[in-house]
Structure 1
């Protein structure tokens, strides 16, 4: 039975309708009612509210249906913006996206790893301010900032639970202090989870599907999305495939586990193995003292693409380890797609995609029930930063704190505004 118009005031209903409009790009009220099971009166009330907030606009008439042409509605991409900040061990990437998730500005810089947080966060804030100014984005239309980084982390408290890149970052209130500096709400989240949800928002996956993401930057992480919702687990530290044990007799990892995947297949492991391979480090001009592991890893990946047998062997070995992790992810969550995201897949992504697909096709428990596709991220190297901004956009869908017509917030900036 269709729902009562009283549901028009519920954030969940409003979010559902707005998300359907976003995904459809252009849709009629009749089609929205059919898709949601809500009454026409409820849909009209919700759409009217969304239009009043400037989030949705009418977009002409639809095609002939045998009756009166239907008025179409669509998202107003310029109504709101959000910022995504990817805080890596060496590099920081900042993006600004509109309400449709389209990137409108980007910047990146290095050196954060060498700074204590009380110096790094003001630098990040100044870069965000500069990027918004350069892009000429009205600050009153900025919903907030998605700060994404590695785990473990306390997402609700907005703190990292790891002494990386230095001990000073452990338990430091990164989200609260960045929010205070910027005067904008800040949401802290996992980089792999952010990269995963970005695929959903950009329409790269079936919105009803269950899919996974393997994210590789300096380290390796994972995320799973079920029908448009990130699987969180009990503390939002789920799907950490970089720290599943590949060898119960392996070396101890800094996380406390032994034989972790990251120590066999991650960029730091590949660089370390290349340094120990006779002649390879010299041939590729690798720097054993370099602080930026991603640059050194990119040299190895580029050489692998160019046919260097030593480099290719190391990358293929990494890919087969990741193939085993993909099989584990697929067995645990019964996903139908696994997305490869992050800067470390940018150079040698084709090698990884091919070999991970082979491992999944050969080893998956449910392979006779359905295939699992291994695909590259539509958001490339910036998947985590874009995903961080999109997680903030999703908070607009829940609309726990709606804005007024002039864009003002009724709630002071801080981490509690975004859910």
Structure 2
């Protein structure tokens, strides 16, 4: 549990700390409960609570009488106080969501990916979709904190630009952050998809089980979102989490990097569908159709098709190897698994994955790995993108204690 500070220079930290505790407590917390949990003095806590109430972020609930003494007055989150937009640009579908302060989805839309357009037209189209969502939701613009955009890596975090992810060629080199901000009039954050997914899980982790955790991301590509001490790991350039070239299948398919059996190609949806249908990867359909076929393949395995089941047994073993290797490095023991494609294969691969993790002899950690399904489902990346905005505004970080010398 993070502790607060009574120093006057860290009011922002104290406010975000208190707000974070309140939003994670559906029944609210009294001032005395907050003082006990944060270590703040009664006077400091009272000042912080008054500030949050005046800003409309929290409100006082009805007094609760429990025995003798003064009634307990809970402080509760006002979810409609602020909102955040999340965007996930994906080869199969572009998803845009609007979340309130509690992380509840207020609006949700999916669009076919934009392709074959110049950068200005791409940005204008994305801004139009964002604006249409906000107009339909009837939310005041001054309550919108900003827009989080999650994309496959690599990214240029300094410029807020997409570099050259192989499956999003239309967006290569587009300076998303500044261009979308100019087109919408809203603050914009651009983040790698796996980092956004991890942020989303942390934001909705009411019991704080994921302070040290790995998010295994299964979508158009694979990746790892990492959390250390409750804080998402971005890396020096914003590109942490690339695990696609871990070798998990010695005699597996050749990767573009020259190795055989890299995780990215070994468990790729394209490989599963192509092998099940006896066709070349080059002859596969568009990503949206690929999702459908992958789901049908998993259903065949679930119903007893031995050939389909064997494909997912092999996939589970490869994913388990990757998870164990990364967890040996991180020593997290908590692993969340999800992503846009995960729901398609989960019915066929979840049970063999649990078994493969138990039986893997390469684990060097002293506790067994606890595997969690993503709390955010298929839309984890767009939801996580919105949570980037909420997290940056309302999660207490030790770095907030730094005093600006200006």
TM-score by length of 1: 0.85
Q: Deviations over 1:264-285 (max 9, x none)?
A: 102122223234379xx9xxxx
Question: Does the aligned pair in 1 maintain the 2:14–2:396 contact within 8 Å?
Answer: no
Question: Does the aligned pair in 2 maintain the 1:83–1:145 contact within 8 Å?
Answer: yes
1:380 corresponding residue in structure 2: 377
1:59 corresponding residue in structure 2: 61
Following TM superposition, by how much is the alpha carbon of 1:121 offset from its aligned partner in structure 2, in angstroms?
Answer: 2.4
2:278 corresponding residue in structure 1: 276
Q: Residues 9-408 of structure 1 correspond to what in structure 2 (within 5 A)? A: 9-25=10-26, 26-64=28-66, 66-165=68-167, 167=169, 169-203=171-205, 206-207=208-209, 209-246=211-248, 253-254=255-256, 259-276=261-278, 288-292=284-288, 293-363=290-360, 369-397=366-394
Structure 1 unaligned segments of length 5 or more: list them. 401-419
Inter-partner Cα distance in structure 2 for 1:291 and 1:343: 11
Following TM superposition, by how much is the alpha carbon of 1:258 offset from its aligned partner in structure 2, in angstroms?
Answer: 6.1
Aligned length: 393
Question: Does the aligned pair in 1 maintain the 2:217–2:337 contact within 8 Å?
Answer: yes
Following TM superposition, by how much is the alpha carbon of 1:398 offset from its aligned partner in structure 2, in angstroms?
Answer: 5.7
Question: Does the aligned pair in 2 maintain the 1:152–1:161 contact within 8 Å?
Answer: yes
SS in 2 for 1:311: helix
TM-score by length of 2: 0.87
CA RMSD in angstroms, aligned pairs only: 2.8
Q: Deviations over 1:56-106 (max 9, x none)?
A: 111122452642123210111000011110100231011111000001111
Distance 1:33 1:348, change over 3 A: same
Following TM superposition, by how much is the alpha carbon of 1:165 offset from its aligned partner in structure 2, in angstroms?
Answer: 3.5
SS in 2 for 1:206: coil
Distance 1:163 1:359, change over 3 A: closer
Distance 1:144 1:246, change over 3 A: same
Distance 1:95 1:164, change over 3 A: same
Following TM superposition, by how much is the alpha carbon of 1:353 offset from its aligned partner in structure 2, in angstroms?
Answer: 2.2
Inter-partner Cα distance in structure 1 for 2:208 and 2:267: 29
1:412 corresponding residue in structure 2: none
Question: Does the aligned pair in 2 maintain the 1:60–1:72 contact within 8 Å?
Answer: yes
SS in 2 for 1:112: coil
Q: Deviations over 1:189-227 (max 9, x none)?
A: 121222222222223653563121111111111112234
> Does 291-300 or 47-56 show the bigger shift?
291-300
> Does 121-130 or 391-400 show the bigger shift?
391-400
Q: Deviations over 1:154-203 (max 9, x none)?
A: 22321122253355533320121111111111111121222222222223
Distance 1:332 1:379, change over 3 A: same
2:400 corresponding residue in structure 1: none
Structure 2 unaligned segments of length 5 or more: list them. 398-406
Q: Deviations over 1:337-391 (max 9, x none)?
A: 2111122111221332222222222226667732222221121100111111111
2:401 corresponding residue in structure 1: none
Inter-partner Cα distance in structure 2 for 1:378 and 1:29: 30
